[in-house]
Every structure is written in C-alpha cells, then in structure tokens.
Amino acid sequence: MKRLFAILAFAAMLMTSCTKTNPFLAEWDTPYGIPPFDQIKEAHYIPAIEEGIKQHNAEIEAIVNNPEAPTFDNVIGAYDLSGGLLAKVSGVLFNLAETDITPTLEKIVDDATTMLSQHENEIIFNKALFAKVEAVNNAKEGLGLTREQEMVLDKVYRSFADNGIALDEAGQARMKEINTELSTLSNKFGNMLLKENNAFKAKFGVAISEYTGAMTTEEDRAKREEMFRAYSNRGNNGNENDTKETLLRILTLKEEKAKLLGYDNPAAWILSDKMAKTPAAVDAFLENIFKYAVAQAKKEVIDMQLVMDDDIKAGKLPAGSKIEPWDWFYYAEKVRKAKYDLDEEQVKPYFKMENVREGVFNTAAKLYGLKFEKIENAPVYHPDVEAFKVTNAADGSLIGILTTDYFPRESKRGGAWMNNIRDEYVTADGTMVRPIIVNVGNFNKPTADKPSLLSLDNVETMFHEFGHALHGLLTQCHYRTVSGTAVARDFVELPSQINENWAFQKEVLAGYAKHYETGEVIPDELVEKIIAAGNFNQGFMTTELCAASILDMKWHELSSVEGIDVEAFEKKACEEMGLIGEIIPRYRTTYFNHIFNSGYSAGYYSYLWAEVLDKDAFELFMEKGIFDPATAKSFKENILEKGGSEDPMVLYKAFRGAEPDPDALLRARGLK
C-alpha cells in the first residue's frame, strides 16, 4: 500500500511539473481564455497531443463502459463534449500551421496530423462505441429530442456509418491506412504550394495576393507573360515542390475510399450529405451558370481587343496581337477606366485597412447590435495580429473574441480565410463557452510612408471573411458538433457572401471610406463610379470561378486516375466545358489548395451555390431596407445563430419565406 501511495504521489508530482511547463495542460489565465501564445513553445505540442489522446480515450471508454442504458446525454452528449484537450491544442497548432509556419513546426504538424488521424480512426472504427450510438439512433423517435439534438445525433451516427464502420476487418484496416495517408498528403500539398508561392515572390517581388494588382498595372507585356506563366504553373515545374504526383495519390486514395463505402466515385460520396445531394445536380447547376458567364466573357474580350488595337496602331504592339490570358487584367482595367472613368489607384486612398475594418464592425453593429473593443496587450501569435472583444451592445454580454491577421509573410499561406481557435458550446455544468475566431488575409502591408491601402477586391474580401466570423461568433448552439460554421459545405458560404453586399452601399461607404491623408469622405462621384462598375468584368470572374468548380467536379467524378496525365486531363476538361482561350480556371489543378488541402473536394461549387442564396436573401434586404431591424433580426436568428442545428433549406425558408430564386445570382452579376 505504501508503495502504491508513493507511485501515485510521484505520478502527481510529474503531472504537476508537466502542467507547470506545458501551458496546454493548465487553465489559461489570460483575457477571455485567449491562448497564451508567448508561453507556448514548439516543444509543447506533441506532449499535449499525446496527453489529449490519452484523455480522449479515457472519455470514450467511459461512454462505452457506462452500465446505464444508452441515452442521448450519456452517449451523444458525452461524445460531443469529449476531446476537449485535443480541441484546445488543435485550435492553436493548425491555425499557426497556416499563418506562421516554421520548418520545425512543419515537422510537428506532420507528426501531429498522423497521430490525430490514427486516433480518429480508432474512434470511427470502435464497434462498441458505435453500438451505443446506434442504440440511441434506433430509439430516437421516443426520446423527445430537440431539433438540435436530432441533428447532432444524425451527424454523429453518419460519422460512423459513412466512414466504414460496417466494413469487415480487412476493409476497416485499409480505411484506417487511407485516412492516415490522406491527412499526411493533404498537409504535404499545402506545404509544397506555400513554397511555390514564396518562390514566385522571390522571383518577381510580388506576393501571390498581389498578383492581380501587379498584372493590372504592368505595362511590359513580356513581363506580364512571364509572371502569368510562373503563376499558372505553380506546382507544375518538375522540382521538389511539383504537386502532380501528390494530388494524383490523393485522388487515388479518395477513389478507393469511396468504393469501399459503396459509391462510384468521390463526388458521389462527398455530396451525399450536402444540399446539392448528387454530382448530377451540381453539374447541371454549373452548366447553366457557365453558359451565361462565358457568353458575357466573349463580349468582354471584344471590348479589350478594341483597346489593344489602339496600342497596335500606336506602335506599342506588333500587328496581329490578340488578347491572351496575361493581358486580361491589364486591358480590363483600361476598359473600366474608359467605360466608367474608374481608376483603382484613385480609390485606394479611401480604403485604409483600419478604416475598412471599422466599416465592417460598424455594419455588424447596426445590423446585429454588436460592440467591438480592441483588447490592448492581448496575447497574439504574431505582431501583425490584433484582438477584439465582441459583446452585445444592449446588455454587455460576451459574444466572443475576434482576432485579425491581415498582412502577408513568408510563413503564411496565400488567400483569406476564417478559423476557429475555440468553438462555442455548452459545458456539462451548463456554462456557455464563447468562441475565439480569427480572420486571416493577405492585404498590402504598410510601408514607411503609406498605410495599408486596399483594392476594391480586398475590401470585398474583408467583408466576406467577416461574414464567416459572424457565423462563428453569433452561434447559439448547445453542441460543438453543430456549432457555428459546422454546416453543409454548400451552405457555409451564405453568411460570408451576403456580408459582401454591404461593402459598397452608399450609406456604408460614407461611414468608413475616408482618405488616409485628409480624412475626406469618399466623394459621391467616386461612389457612383464604383456602383456603376459593380458588374464590370463579371463574365471573366464568373467564368474562371465556374471553370474551377467544373474542374473540381471532373476530377472527383473519376472512378480511377490510373494512367492520367494531369495537364492533358485539365486541358481536355477545359475544352469540353467550352472555356475560351483567354481565361484559365481560377485555380489550376496543381495549385488547387481548396480541393486538395482545405476541405472543398467536390465542393468548390459551394461559392456559386451559396451565392444563389445570398443574392436572393439580399434582395429582401434591398426591398425592406439594408439595415431593416426586422430583416436583420430574422437573418441573425434563423441563419447566424443556428449553425447546423437544422436542415439548411429549412433555415433559409424560415428567413426568406420561400426557397431561393435560382436566377438571383445571374441577375446580381448582370448576366441575365
């Protein structure tokens, strides 16, 4: 007995020592539970994950070994609350993996990804656990569940059923191997692309996020072509960061996984629980949009060719020159200036980053009654990051914490996105945990003599990502499984895309678009030009987006990629869809991070699908008033607060009163 007490005392001493040295294993004494980034070291991650797996296994065993009859609370509710330490570590680690990666952290992420994938496999294929889940699912009609509980139960049940719990022992073993390799390869793809992006910047002095702007202003056509070819061949250079072999392996594994689960191809499997339901529905949806988009794009080519012809006559270009993909941004800008007298450089001074962010905040304040306060000296993972406390203006109650990280660096991947560092949920004792959300961008960094000045596209992007943040911040769900943005992929873009609609409304611009030097509010003349040019170049923008969505579907509708040449397949796909030679897909296969590393496999169409919803929804705001309290309240309560606690179309109809008009997108983009 004495020996046992000695062992227990020694174990307790070790745990106390570990807790003191590893911040993940202690409560965070920071404002609002923000991670203590200054205390977290790279050496802390793997030990914390190991401990998190150990704790999670114990929680799963407690569910399995509970002698009481299975109920929603002791099985599904307990399962939803399990894995708290892993969620805590993952929220920090995988955010830094995208925003501030180092060579050491890259290796840690690789190891952590493998460990977590293997751990998830053990849970997904735990037959004893599934038996408990299945027992609750079979008895659900008589349990008196809330609608949210029904959705949580269905999602948890499907997480087992749709991932191979019914497979035989050999099938399950193979599925585990597939899942682990897929998680590793996806991470590898992202890392290779980051290196390709950094190589592009090293060569041209232009970050990937600045490419469009550089192509718009670069007068040297040969330089534009060189930049275009480097940009559009990322991941396709035959070097150590060539992604073709990796992406083909990813597709091969997805195909094998789909067939193990009884589906013909990955698209059929992935879409089975989305709003669209089937690949055929997505294909028909995209085909309809594409025909209008490419018809408009052909008209835009004619307009640009006329301007190019003037350059030919002036001796700036050789006779017979035609618009090529590397000419599009340059000549589109010339056409815009001619048609609308709108110069991007003329409007940028009115879009200082801090002012735009203030406009984003003020819009949310007017719509949803929110208040934003900067948290001074908050723990942050990089000096560029700022943190804000978000509260309900009426009663001061905490909504959540928002951090913004808007400037590019070599340790950050390109693009813009929203992450959850901490989800919203209700603990076992009834305490509501409010979320910590991060908005990430890659906008122009301030210089010694100029602040960060945003392009019109940057402004729209900030409003877009903040729409995702609102979805994560305002959620009022009980369970993490359906909290915030945990919704069907083709529904998740509704909150983000509808938020873009306020960016250039006159009333909104008047509040935030102020000249960074003089403080002058943007003149009405410029506002009118911005509004008039709102649908300019939509043929191109819709075509490149639609083309990427179709390319995504083409890859994931394959039953086998054996013997396929990536470039040849992509070329054929573009020819079959009718893509004109002056345009390439927004993302070519070898740098299509969305579908090989970011969860949008057979799902890139979601942006257009959700835009039908957002444009139809905003038509109601336009009808009632863009800040109409009743309409904003309905959108907040029926969409933003509900997360995945109800079927997406039910939520939408509760807000709108009807299903969306499919032509709303075409009207909004000026295509019909």
* Dist. CA 654–CA 410, nearest whole Å: 44
Over residues 176-221, the pLDDT tens digits come to 999 999 999 999 999 999 999 999 999 999 999 899 999 999 999 9
Mean pLDDT of 576-589: 98
Predicted pLDDT of residue 457: 94
Predicted pLDDT of residue 344: 86
Phi and psi at residue 21, to the nearest 5°:
-95, -20
| Residues designated as active site | 465
Mapping DSSP to helix (H, G, I), strand (E, B) and coil, where does residue 522 land?
A: coil
User: Running DSSP on this structure, what letter comes out for residue 42?
Assistant: G
Tokens of 577: 């869809």
Is residue 380 exposed (0-12), middle (13-18) or buried (19+ Cβ within 10 Å)?
middle
Tokens of 282: 């997505």
Tally helices (H) and strands (E) across the chain: 27, 7
Tokens of 459: 């402004």
* Dist. CA 57–CA 8, nearest whole Å: 21
Mean pLDDT of 487-516: 97
* Dist. CA 75–CA 139, nearest whole Å: 13
* Dist. CA 632–CA 484, nearest whole Å: 18
Choose among 372, 260, 336, 293: nearest CA to 530: 336
Question: Do residues 185 and 249 touch, judged by C-beta distance below 8 A?
Answer: yes
Alpha helix ranges (H) inside 66-146? 78-81, 84-99, 103-124, 127-138
* Dist. CA 446–CA 467, nearest whole Å: 25
User: DSSP per residue over 47-59, as a string?
Assistant: HHHHHHHHHHHHH
Domains belonging to the chain, first-starting first, are: 24-124+126-163 (1.20.1050.40), 349-534 (1.10.1370.40)
CA 620 from chain centre, in angstroms, equals: 26
Over residues 603-659, the pLDDT tens digits come to 999 999 999 999 999 999 999 999 999 999 999 999 999 999 999 999 999 999 999
* Dist. CA 144–CA 215, nearest whole Å: 60
pLDDT > 60? residue 9: no
Mean pLDDT of 423-428: 97
Choose among 185, 192, 194: nearest CA to 250: 185
pLDDT > 60? residue 590: yes
* Dist. CA 97–CA 45, nearest whole Å: 12
Strands 398-405 and 370-374: unpaired
CA 646 from chain centre, in angstroms, equals: 21
pLDDT > 70? residue 19: no
pTM of the model: 0.90
Which distant-in-sequence residues (6+ apart) come within 8 Å of 456 by Cβ?
Answer: 344, 347, 351, 504, 530
Predicted pLDDT of residue 1: 36
**Binning pLDDT at 50, 70 and 90, where does residue 66 land?**
very high
Over residues 23-64, the pLDDT tens digits come to 999 999 999 999 999 999 999 999 999 999 999 999 999 999
Is residue 627 exposed (0-12), middle (13-18) or buried (19+ Cβ within 10 Å)?
middle
pLDDT > 80? residue 15: no
**How far is it between the farthest Cα atoms of the chain?**
99
Question: Do residues 303 and 312 touch, judged by C-beta distance below 8 A?
Answer: no
Ranking 337-341, 434-438, 555-559 by mean pLDDT, the lowest is: 337-341
pLDDT > 80? residue 5: no
Tokens of 413: 């991947």
Which distant-in-sequence residues (6+ apart) come within 8 Å of 462 by Cβ?
Answer: 356, 357, 360, 406, 416, 439, 441, 443, 454, 503
pLDDT > 80? residue 250: yes
Residue for token digits 């949210």?
Answer: 148
Amino acid, res. 418:
M
pLDDT > 90? residue 601: yes
Predicted pLDDT of residue 20: 61
pLDDT > 80? residue 11: no
Predicted pLDDT of residue 7: 35
Which distant-in-sequence residues (6+ apart) come within 8 Å of 430 by Cβ?
Answer: none
Phi and psi at residue 514, to the nearest 5°:
-125, 140
Of 230 and 20, more confident: 230
pLDDT > 70? residue 265: yes
* Dist. CA 185–CA 191, nearest whole Å: 10
